[in-house]
Amino acid sequence: MTHWWHLALFLLGAGLILFIAWRLFAKASVLTARAADAAEYRAIFDSAVEAMAVIDAAGIVQSVNPAVERTFGYAPEEMIGGNIRMLMPPEIGGGHDDHLGRYRQTGIRAVIGIGREVMGQRKDGSQFPLDLSVAEWQRGGETFFTGIMRDISARHAAETKLRSSEERLRLLQHEFAHLARVNEFGEMAEAIADEINQPLTAIVNYLSVGLFAAEEDGNGEAEQLMQQAIDQALRAGDMVRRIREFVDYGHGVRTVWRADGLVDSAMALALVDARSSGIIVEREAGAGDAAVEVDSAQIRQVLVNLLRNAVEAMADDDSPGEARVTISTGLRPDGAVEFAISDTGPGLSPEVREELFQPFFTTKANGMGLGLSVCRRLIEAHGGSIEADSAPGGGATFRFQLPRFGSSPDLLFSPHC
């Protein structure tokens, strides 16, 4: 029977050995797997483009990846054991320990699992925007945080650039609106001066007739009063003249511009919304390199006024058919540069055409009636002329001409030298 014992013991021993071996093997393979996992994470950690740092619950840096050095300029040994605050601008870093403390107490998350845009600070003190996301994890009952930080200054710069180009357009529009108001104010002053001078002239004339009559009647007192009244009316006229001289508009410093360049910049200002409202915009650039010597802001205003009029005329037009505005430039046989803006709106009646460029004449419900009279004055101040045409089938064309720069011999050499 003893060999049964031996067998049993042997089997038990073998089983035990096998069991131990299996346990050992199993443990080893878990360890190997863990080691493999750790190596894999380490590889990800080390090769990530994003800077990663592990901190404990007190904010002390446990480990960092190489991207941290690339991003912030600190070597790993400079950081490990230090407070993560060193990566933050002082005004933010100062409160970081409190944040961590509050989170420990309340569990309210500010960044963890949410991610947000914060400012970082490099070793050299320079600051930059970064995207921060934070993961929380435990090991051995202790809490750790892994922060992943991506430098987004390039994206920011692009956004800023986009914003600044939008800003520039808005600024240009603002400046344009201001200039338009200045010009309209000038036009109003001119028009009011013109309007007031008419009755003043009539007053002086009528009083002069009265003066004659008083002289003939030998009425010295009436004569004197008439003369004083005449003097006062003339004084009013002098004041109006002074106001007008004060306004002194329609003359700015002139520079040389390519005609088509002016048109393009005006289109950018005037037609921002036109295309989206279904209006077809057509551009025929036919002036080549021809240049004009102008106050560009003023000529741009003329173009914008005409373009907006065209767009508004078509917006008010209910008739079917396409809405199209055509902006063309060209050279006339006499050498002048011609600008034309045509629309497919209702066109202009002969009566309207007659009055079109008079101040305070308007067909718009809310118009002041100064836009086109400003246009005319500005164009005439540039030695050009402007006119309106209406095609039989509807639609209006506004055309203006400006002297071509360099076409007149006395412009070939600069008068300013």
What is the pairing mode between strands 51-56 and 291-294?
unpaired
Smallest distance, other proteins to C-beta of residue 199, A: 6
> 3-class DSSP state for residue 83?
strand
**Concatenated DSSP letters for 26-93?**
HHHHHHHHHHHHHHHHHHHHHH-SSEEEEEETT-BEEEE-HHHHHHH---HHHHTTSBGGGGS-HHHH
Question: CA dist 137 to 34, 41, 54, 144, Å?
Answer: 17, 14, 10, 5
Of residues 88 and 230, the one with the C-beta less far from other proteins: 230
Tokens at 265, concatenated = 């910049």
C-alpha–C-alpha distance, residues 316 and 311, integer Å: 9
Which residue lies nearer to other proteins by CB, 103 or 257? 257
Neighbours of 340 (CB within 10 A): 18
Q: Shortest approach of other proteins to residue 208 CB, angstroms?
A: 4
Query: What tokens does 311 get?
Result: 């767009």
Nearer to other proteins, 79 or 233 (CB): 233
Min dist. Cβ of residue 252 to other proteins (A):
8
- CA nearest neighbour of 300 among 180, 204, 170: 180
Q: How far is the CB of 368 from other proteins (least distance, A)?
A: 18
Largest CA distance in the chain: 174
CB 200 to other proteins: min, Å = 4
Start-to-end C-alpha separation, the chain: 133
| Residue closer to other proteins (CB basis): 52 or 233 | 233
Could you tell me if 310 and 345 are in contact, meaning their C-beta atoms sit under 8 angstroms apart? yes
Quick one: 12 or 202, whose CB is closer to other proteins? 202
The pair phi, psi for residue 366, each rounded to 5°, is -110, 15
C-beta neighbour count of 223 within 10 angstroms: 18
Q: How far is the CB of 415 from other proteins (least distance, A)?
A: 7
Closer of 80 and 200 to other proteins (Cβ): 200
Q: How far is the CB of 294 from other proteins (least distance, A)?
A: 13
Q: Which is nearer to other proteins, 80 or 352 (CB)?
A: 352
Q: Chain centroid to CA 391: how far?
A: 38
Q: What are the start-end ranges of the H helices in 248-324? A: 259-270, 296-315
**C-alpha to C-alpha distances, 50 to 82, 134, 144, 212, nearest whole angstrom:** 20, 12, 19, 98
Q: How far is the CB of 317 from other proteins (least distance, A)?
A: 26
CB of 225 to other proteins, least distance (A): 16
Smallest distance, other proteins to C-beta of residue 366, A = 23
Q: Which residues bind other proteins (CB under 8 A)?
A: 190, 193-195, 197-206, 208-209, 211-212, 230, 233-234, 236-237, 241, 244-245, 248, 251-253, 354-355, 358, 380-381, 383, 415-416
Nearer to other proteins, 1 or 417 (CB): 417
**Strand partners of residue 364:** none
Q: Which is nearer to other proteins, 55 or 230 (CB)?
A: 230
Sheet of 337-343: strand order equals 280-285, 324-331, 337-343, 396-402, 385-390
| Nearer Cβ to other proteins (159/245) | 245
Asked whether the beta carbons of 226 and 211 are under 8 A apart, the reply is yes
